[in-house]
Chains A and B, each alone.
Chain A
Amino acid sequence: MCYNRFSHAGGWEMEADGIVVKGIRQGLLINLGEGPWEERLARLAHRLEAGATFFRGGRAALDVGARPLDSEEIRRVQALFARYGVELWALLSTCDETVLAAVRAGLVPDLALGDRVQEPAEPVGEAGPAVGGLVVGRTLRSGQRIEHPGDVVIIGDVHAGAEVVAGRHVIVWGRLQGVVHAGAMGDAGAVVCALDLAPTQLRIAGYIARSPEEKRRRPVPEIARVRDGYIEAMPWRKR
């Protein structure tokens, strides 16, 4: 079962349908790409269907580019996201007509506005919307990328060149050498744990750290978290 979930989530951005899904601070940003509107919608539906476990419970902003859309078409988009349990909160477009229709439909037309609306809200960590964890049952190789709004557990290694972006904690039951971004939507309480914590780069919320360039000693399990404005890694000992 776990493996199945991963086979959906793996290689999001590799898919050839031209739809780009990206984790941003406020959730997911979905770019529809070029092509006729009806065909794009069908592709989007297909993508949501194929990755139902990934998308469910998430928040998404949709970028439709320069397409002119009326209220009716926007309602169809909203219904499509609702069907897969995704909260569509923003609709981005360079077309004035579309922006107006989006605002009338109760959508935010600008990601920056999302920041302002979000600020007073509780941090995603404890009180945020309930998002499940994602268990990835294999090693991530260079170029592979996992994005998930909740916790991510990887049973395997994360190679250099691979990337994990999670809304909350990231736990690697193996060697972590790639790039991990925990709390990617702004949760500075997120942690990253690994049996061997040797990432190229570690990000928690808005903080970034590089591994020291010294040679590695014998690996010990470690946990990294934000403390006093820095990312700090500590050995994980029996307590």
Chain B
Amino acid sequence: MAGRVLTITSGKGGVGKTTATANLGVALATRGQRVVVVDADIGLRNLDVMMGLENRIVYDLVDVVEERCRLRQALVRDKRLSELYLLPAAQTRDKTAVGPEDMVRICEELRASFDFLVVDSPAGIEQGFRNAIAPADEVLIITNPEVAAVRDADRVIGLIEAEEKGPARLIINRIKPEMVRRGDMMETAAVVELLAVELIGLIPEDEAVITAANTGRPVALSDNSLAGRAFHNIARRLLGEDVPFVPLREAGFFERLLRFVRTEGEER
């Protein structure tokens, strides 16, 4: 069975593409999927750092394209999950070193050995973005609940539809429920309505994500952060499970107790 190529892109920088790629890779691999995460951000690679794999890189994507090594040699196996691999970008080159046809060829080769290929797109809508979406079967758009990010996401969705890579699905990242409640942040419903695409994930703002990025341990590796659980929910939806969207705040003790009692009651 051939693997699915998911490209994660946003238009705007800094909204969480690389974080989402690393965490979806982890979440899918935790669920027994064979996963390779591909860093298409040549010249500004970060995925390796966020996954704590930087010091294991010997060859990279550009070495594969320029035939200095075989594809297998460039894959870096994750330290923690045996079914998770990274195909790193080159750091000392730029986007012109790779073309869309190279990405298609490499992903075709990887499909045979993996269930999922998660491609981390660079910011922008230039060649790096074109490279990242060229091999995609499905595109996940990530945005933040702020006007500029949503505007860029809209632009990117248009480009993806023009490339017939759609329908794109949407992840809204860095939601602060408290601000939304005060009316100071765009509501998720408003974002979804504006972009008119299917929602696949809501990720709350979570300090654990910053610590995780700095230490190279994606939050999805453990079950004790809100963001980590949200990424696992996306992975489950990607695998076809029907996971309801839950309110994004740490429930108080009383609420949790109430919910516990209710679910116990419902399941019996």
Contact = CB atoms under 8 A, between A and B. Distances in A.
A78 to B, nearest CB: 24
B92 A143 contact: yes
Nearest to A203: B58
Nearest to A200: B55
Given A163-B91, A201-B56, 18 more contacts: A13-B92, A13-B93, A14-B94, A20-B66, A20-B97, A22-B66, A24-B68, A31-B66, A142-B91, A143-B43, A145-B92, A160-B54, A161-B91, A163-B92, A200-B54, A201-B55, A201-B57, A210-B56
A210 B55 contact: yes
A233 B55 CA distance: 17
Interface in A128-159: 142-145
Contacts of B68: 22, 24
B104 interface: no
A88 B16 CA distance: 47
14 contacts: A13-B93, A22-B66, A24-B68, A143-B44, A143-B91, A143-B92, A144-B92, A145-B92, A161-B91, A162-B92, A200-B54, A201-B56, A201-B58, A210-B56
Nearest to B93: A13
A210 B52 CA distance: 12
B148 to A, nearest CB: 26
The interface size bin for chain B is 10 to 19
A211 interface: yes
Contacts of B91: 142-143, 161, 163
The dominant DSSP class at the B interface is loop
Interface string B87-121: 00001111001000000000000000000000000
B151 to A, nearest CB: 29
Nearest to B54: A200
Interface residues of A, number: 19
Interface of B: 43-45, 54-58, 66, 68, 91-94, 97
A232 to B, nearest CB: 17
A208 interface: yes
B216 to A, nearest CB: 9
Contacts of A161: 45, 91
Contact of A208 (B43, B58, B66): B58
A19 to B, nearest CB: 12
Interface of A: 13-14, 20, 22, 24, 31, 142-145, 160-163, 200-201, 208, 210-211
Contacts of A142: 91
A145 B68 CA distance: 18
Contacts of A211: 55
Contacts of B45: 161
A147 to B, nearest CB: 10
A13 B93 CA distance: 6
B18 to A, nearest CB: 15
A-B complex: 3 closest residue pairs judged by Cβ atoms: A145-B92, A210-B55, A200-B55
A13 B45 CA distance: 16
Contacts of A13: 92-93
Nearest to B43: A143
Contacts of B94: 14
Nearest to B57: A201
Most interface-central of A31, A163, A200 (chain B CB within 10 A): A200
Contacts of A208: 58
A135 B259 CA distance: 67
Contacts of A144: 92
A211 B56 CA distance: 10
B1 to A, nearest CB: 34
Contacts of B92: 13, 143-145, 162-163
Contacts of A145: 92
Nearest to B55: A210
B101 to A, nearest CB: 13
A176 B32 CA distance: 39
A132 to B, nearest CB: 23
Contacts of A163: 91-92
A203 to B, nearest CB: 8
A162 B66 CA distance: 20
B66 to A, nearest CB: 7
Contacts of B66: 20, 22, 31
Nearest to B79: A213
A151 to B, nearest CB: 20
A6 to B, nearest CB: 16
A96 to B, nearest CB: 19
B41 to A, nearest CB: 12
A144 to B, nearest CB: 7
Nearest to B216: A213
